[in-house]
Chains A and B, each alone.
Chain A
Amino acid sequence: MKHKVLCWNCKTETEAFEYRCNICKKIQNIGEVNPYDLFSLKKNFFIDYDDLENKYFQLQNIFHPDKFINSENREKEISAFESSSINNAYNMLVNNVDRIKILLNLNGYNIGSNNNESFTDHLLLEEIMDLQNRCMSIENNSEKSKIKSEIKNKINKIESQINENFKKKKFSEIENLSVKLSYLEKINKNLN
């Protein structure tokens, strides 16, 4: 997406500079961009974490406030703002549930538009309650690791289901699955 941009400092309008003005070299605001595009990732549910991390480091290397300690205030402000936007975008992408939300939005799906959920909800609630009860009554480490691997399997299964459903564009299905996923991840985290 190349378009003309105006530099806040030298006021020159040039063809698409990336982060720094071509003329005066001052740092520029990134502007509205979704997390996938920010890190130039393909818009799939499964992402390459190493790739994401490398791009994250590259961007922080450009925008991190440590790089602007002797710069003028406006550059410092841009750096602080964009460095934290990059952190936020990165955190959202590494979080499964947040990533699903981003992808659903990018697909034009309105989260919360799904109404026929009471039945699945009921079953889901029972399953989660059951798991939670079992987690509460864990007595030894072998029991714990057994439940952990069971939860891990469930999470893996849902992840691939979500991935499939994105291919088939079954978005309301994905929304239901993501509720379940968030519960399972919470239980998994509490087990630590």
Chain B
Amino acid sequence: MNLVKIEEPNTSAKEQKCLGIDFGTTNSVCSIKIDEKVIFIEDSHKKTLIPSTVCFSTEVKVGNEIDLSKSLGNTIFSVKRNFTDNPDKQIIINSKNEGRSSVEIAKEIFSYLKKICNVFLNEDVSDCIVTVPAYYDERARSGIMRSAFMSGFNVRRLINEPTAAAFAYGLENKKRGKFLVYDLGGGTFDVSLLNLKDNLFKVIGTSGDSKLGGDDFDQLLLNHILSFYPDLEKNDLSYNDLIHLTKECKTIKEKFQSIDNFQLEFEIKGKKKKVEINTNIFEKIFDKIITKTINITDQLLKDCEVDINDVDGIILVGGSTKLKLIPKKIKEYFKKNIYSDLDPDLVVSYGAALHGYELLNGSNNLLLDVTPLSLGIETMGGLMEKIIPRNSNIPIVKEQTFTTNENGQTSIIIKIIQGERETSDKNTLLGEFILSDIEPKPAGIPRIKVRFSLDVDGMLFVSAVDESSGSEKNIVIKTANDLNIEEMRKIVESSIQNAKHDMDTRLLIESKIKASRLINEIENVRDQIESLCSKKDIESINKTTNMLNTELKKNNKEKIDNLVEILNEKTKDFAQKLIDKNFKNFVGKDLDVLKE
């Protein structure tokens, strides 16, 4: 007879497993913490770096399974780059012109990762944490989350890549103090400033560029080589040639770690050329990109009001930081200690595995992160009313009350936007919804409460309520169509450059709104004006109102402001009389506007 081993009903004793998945532009890495140790998942070729490539031919192949010498043309590279544009846009995947969305392509990679994890661990682990670039917006985040879910993973949390890396340094490397995490991957650049304390890892601020990474180095190198072929345009090359040459450039870049001087012989379209590449040329080619990352880092420090002297070190993350040039330039510029003890290719997944383990099994450590870009809604005149400013700690719920701008208005369109500019047409529209059934009332009376809640994954939920009628609308930013989320960093950059111009536009629009509202209010109480004021006063109010109406069609802020002031002055007497007549309740807060 077999003895049945009875386990104690103590579920907490059994550790829950959670994968840390770094889905990268170039490579993906999976790891997991088991028995106090983090192990990296290997594919059947004993590789931990799984190329994020998918080949759609007779069957779908991923990563090291693809024989690039045979199927270069049918292979999709760097699919992650598309997530910031539109993760649902169809992309041609093979010579038969078949299409798939980026979400579906990434799903193939996640499915493959799940398969190799199960084989390697000899068990099915679905719980995971997926890392995303810190600058990622709502749509990109939700796109990645959908891909992972579709492949059967149970995504317990999305965390930001630099945050995950810092978590690993704080936990395993016992780093304490303020650190910059400089994360340059294959397609993305992130930089985060963190405060690492005992049991506490807090992100102070984050910034980045959605379209800056190792891929750009390869392109620059390719341009340099093509410059030796003056009568050859990039467009003259076939798709296969181009991919082939790009691959070659990548190899040269990687080899450059160990060799300082290259004499290369290239053959393009039958023409042989000798190309020399040395440290000087290398530095010259890549200088622009590195300078860009330094500027972004400088701006982040300024935004966070942290002096570089108070930073204890810079942590390098991402495969591209393995280029010797990067630590050299960063050290030269910031004059700080540089850390790359934990492998820059693996540290993001490593940190995610550590955090995932702690999430599911409990811990005393706390990780506090922020949102990378401001969120708000478009108000009258195309202005952006920021509701959650960038670098706010998440989770966060914010409410703001808005009102109508026409008498008897019964519905309102709420446009949700993300970005750093003052005027909303320069920012990214995340989605819009219509709140109807607002009770018809004079302009400015209804109170529409808009609630933004940004959860700890960085996902946004928006709802709006008309407080008087209780009409409510909820939306979740998940699958909205035609969002044009291009180059976040560009938004921030141009926001800085155009700050002055934006401010002027904003002030003018604000003046105009103030003026139209005043006119509106006066129209609203015209009956009372006529019964309460002298004929002379009425005439003068009318005259000024007409002048203001004319001025509103032009763009002279000073004139508008002056007329508003005069009109306010002229209606002051009337407002007083109105109060005397105890009309206060009838017009409610309109009075405040008249008095302003």
- A-side interface residues toward B, CB under 8 Å? 57, 60-61, 64-67, 69-70, 80-81, 83-85, 87-88, 90-91, 190, 192
Given A66-B367, A66-B456, A70-B360: A84 and B397 within 8 A (CB)? yes
Contact of B366 among A61, A84, A90 (CB under 8 A): A61
- Contacts of A64 on B, CB cut-off 8 Å? 366, 368, 456
Residue from B200, B302, B396 having most chain A Cβ neighbours under 10 A: B396
- Contacts of A80 on B, CB cut-off 8 Å? 395, 453, 455-456
- Asked if B580 is an interface residue, CB under 8 A from chain A, the answer is no
Interface of A (DSSP majority class): helix
Q: Does the CB pair A85–B157 fall under 8 Å?
A: no
Q: Does the CB pair A88–B368 fall under 8 Å?
A: no
Q: Does the CB pair B359–A66 fall under 8 Å?
A: yes
Q: Which residue of B lies closest to A67 (CB)?
A: B362
Q: Does the CB pair B303–A57 fall under 8 Å?
A: no
User: In residues 379-400 of chain B, which contact A (Cβ within 8 Å)?
Assistant: 392-398
- B-side interface residues toward A, CB under 8 Å? 156-157, 199-200, 302-303, 305, 358-360, 362, 364, 366-368, 392-398, 453, 455-456, 499
Interface of B (DSSP majority class): mixed
Give Cα A60–Cα B303 distance, bound, in whole angstroms. Answer: 24
Q: Does the CB pair B366–A91 fall under 8 Å?
A: no
- Name the distance in Å between A169's Cβ and chain B's nearest Cβ: 26
Q: Does the CB pair A69–B156 fall under 8 Å?
A: yes
- Contacts of A61 on B, CB cut-off 8 Å? 199, 364, 366
Q: Which residue of A lies closest to B370 (CB)?
A: A87
Q: Which residue of B lies closest to A88 (CB)?
A: B396
- Contacts of B366 on A, CB cut-off 8 Å? 57, 60-61, 64, 66
Q: Which residue of B lies closest to A65 (CB)?
A: B456
- Contacts of B157 on A, CB cut-off 8 Å? 66, 69
- Contacts of B358 on A, CB cut-off 8 Å? 66
Q: Which residue of A lies closest to B362 (CB)?
A: A67
17 A-B pairs besides A65-B395, A85-B397 with CB distance below 8 A are: A57-B200, A60-B366, A61-B366, A65-B455, A66-B358, A66-B359, A69-B156, A69-B359, A80-B456, A83-B395, A83-B456, A84-B396, A87-B393, A87-B394, A87-B395, A88-B397, A88-B398
Q: What would be 26 A-B contacts, judged by CB atoms less than 8 Å apart? A: A57-B200, A57-B366, A60-B366, A61-B199, A64-B368, A65-B456, A66-B157, A66-B358, A66-B367, A66-B456, A67-B362, A69-B157, A80-B395, A80-B456, A84-B394, A84-B395, A84-B396, A85-B397, A87-B392, A87-B395, A88-B397, A91-B392, A91-B393, A192-B302, A192-B303, A192-B305
Give Cα A99–Cα B27 distance, bound, in whole angstroms. Answer: 47
- Contacts of A83 on B, CB cut-off 8 Å? 395, 456
Residue from A60, A80, A85, A87 having most chain B Cβ neighbours under 10 A: A87
Residue from A70, A81, A84 having most chain B Cβ neighbours under 10 A: A84
Give Cα A5–Cα B3 distance, bound, in whole angstroms. Answer: 50
- Contacts of A90 on B, CB cut-off 8 Å? 393
Q: Does the CB pair A69–B360 fall under 8 Å?
A: yes
- Name the distance in Å between A144's Cβ and chain B's nearest Cβ: 12
- Contacts of A84 on B, CB cut-off 8 Å? 394-397, 453
- Name the distance in Å between A60's Cβ and chain B's nearest Cβ: 6
- Contacts of A190 on B, CB cut-off 8 Å? 499
Give Cα A69–Cα B361 distance, bound, in whole angstroms. Answer: 10
- Name the distance in Å between B13's Cβ and chain A's nearest Cβ: 15
- Contacts of A67 on B, CB cut-off 8 Å? 362
- Name the distance in Å between B16's Cβ and chain A's nearest Cβ: 8
- Name the distance in Å between A116's Cβ and chain B's nearest Cβ: 14
